[in-house]
Structure 1
Amino acid sequence: MWKNYSLIVWLVIIGLVMGGCQMGKGSERDIKPSEMKAEDLPDVRALQDEFTRSFIESTEEVEPGYYSFLSGTKQYRMLFPKEGVIHQGYGVKEDQFEGFLMSTINDNGTDSQIKINYYAYATIESVEGGLEMLEGSVGQKLEFEKVKAETSELYYAPFQFDSDTFGIAALVASLKENGVIQIVYDTQCKKDQNECKQIKEEEVDKMIHWAESIEFVDKEIK
């Protein structure tokens, strides 16, 4: 009897210890990068830059090379490259407007810049005017493709600034509520012509995938 009792006590102790360990691990996952010390974070630009990591929701990658970014307006989320940083000049007005420039170093040795403007008051009906604004931003007439998702529409068009610089202009519009995001995403390649041609194909596909990751936050459950 005493042997059985001792065994039960021992199993209970093990269970408590293991449960405590699991809760501890869960607590670590719940800690935001902005609440952690730089030396305890992965050695990547997005988390080592103090301002940038204030937007990153977790140290766990949601896709290889990307973290989850929550807008300063709390109105949308998107993928954020681990080697990306947000530059000076960031601007936000409550939950109504947000504008910033981010840059990232790509695995293929190229550099990219992404300019983002969010307008809370804009509606799906204002898309045509938004696309015209994007054409003015890049100084070109663009042919936009449309991708419709469950709660948003994405419009994007590739462009070429010069022999070294290419990118996409994009617009994401909410279908449920007001909200439009305008994007100019460009990459500079200074390698030889054949290599840059291959890089361009890969990077444009990556740009479109990134733009498709943008989702508006449901205000009813936020």
Structure 2
Amino acid sequence: MKKTILLCFSLLLALTGGCSMSISDKYTTKYNNTEAVKPKDMNPKDLPQVPAFQNEKTREYMVSTKEEEPGYYVLESKLKGFRMLFPADAKYLARRSSLTRKNKESIGFNSYDKDTNVMFDGHVTFYKEESFVNEPETMPDIVSGKNDYKGEYKKSSKKNTDIYFAKKKDIFEDIERKYNYSYSYFGYVKSKEEDNLGVEFAFTFGCKNENQPCSLDEEKAKNKVEKLINSITFLIDKKEK
């Protein structure tokens, strides 16, 4: 199983070259009045010179050219169901993304840091009006099955969301490679204001080139994931009842 996981991850690498307002509320309200011309309609020469904007498909999700935090901009789903921080150096992955109906949307993306030789793979799936999101046994089982995980989830609560978080380290002892491990973080974010509304997430960090030094740091990887999932905001929550 571990060998299969590493091979799948290797294939992925080969194919991709002090304020009362909460963090999530900030991403909902700050860009209600953004520039008249959306990033996707602008000349690439006038956009930030980072993959998130220079990649045609990725910039379709970008809300504004303004950097929200150093190295991060704001992404909005095509269904306009949620917003979250998005790494400036990340690119959209078409083969891992889909918009199949009005209540489900998947967005895949990744990035590669040449200085550290670390590859980052991200995948988020938005669910609307799906009853299993609210079921305390079903949703964890779904996420665990996709990530070959048998442990528990750590739950944390914010003003408008509950976050279920798990992590694991895979060591591929049957592979002759110095950097034979990866860190994975996965779980889901559920709305506390709307029933059957949530975002499933899965993030993996690994070393891309086996013949180069790799600076994969577990704490830095975890901090990055926490930044992303804590920024998830459900826009539907803000509609007037």
TM-score (norm 1): 0.79
Shift of 1:117: 1.4
Partner-residue secondary structure (3-state), 1:157? strand
Which of residues 113, 119, 123 in structure 2 aligns to 1:115?
123
1:202 aligned onto 2:220: yes
Shift of 1:87: 0.9
Between 1:82-91 and 1:105-114, the stretch displaced more is 105-114
- The equivalent residue for 2:157 is 148
Alpha-carbon distance in 1 for matches of 2:127, 2:234: 12
Alpha-carbon distance in 2 for matches of 1:63, 1:128: 35
1:92 aligned onto 2:79: no
Cα distance per residue 1:148-194 (max 9 Å; x no partner): 0111111111112224211201200011113121111000035768x
Shift of 1:125: 2.6
Decide whether the 8 Å contact of 2:116 with 2:213 is kept in 1: no
Alpha-carbon distance in 2 for matches of 1:49, 1:142: 37
Which of residues 134, 137, 142 in structure 1 aligns to 2:146?
137
Shift of 1:100: 2.6
Partner-residue secondary structure (3-state), 1:130? helix
User: Which amino acid counterpart does residue 38 of structure 2 have in structure 1?
Assistant: K
Where do residues 58-69 of structure 1 align in structure 2 (5 Å cutoff)?
A: 58-69=64-75
Which of residues 227, 230, 234 in structure 2 aligns to 1:212?
230
Q: Structure 2: any 5+ residue segments left out of the alignment?
A: 1-32, 172-179
Alpha-carbon distance in 1 for matches of 2:193, 2:149: 30
Alpha-carbon distance in 1 for matches of 2:165, 2:47: 34
Alpha-carbon distance in 1 for matches of 2:116, 2:130: 36
User: Larger RCO: Structure 1 or Structure 2 (Cα < 8 Å, ≥ 6 residues apart)?
Assistant: 2
1:41 aligned onto 2:50: no
Q: Residues 109 and 61 (structure 1 numbering): CA distance in 2 closer, same or farther, change over 3 Å?
A: farther
More helix by share: 1
Partner-residue secondary structure (3-state), 2:205? strand
Aligned Cα RMSD in Å?
Answer: 2.3
Where do residues 138-177 of structure 1 align in structure 2 (5 Å cutoff)?
A: 138-162=147-171, 163-177=180-194
- The equivalent residue for 1:13 is none
* Aligned-residue identity in percent: 26
Cα distance per residue 1:186-219 (max 9 Å; x no partner): 00035768x53xx111111211121111110135
Partner-residue secondary structure (3-state), 2:143? helix
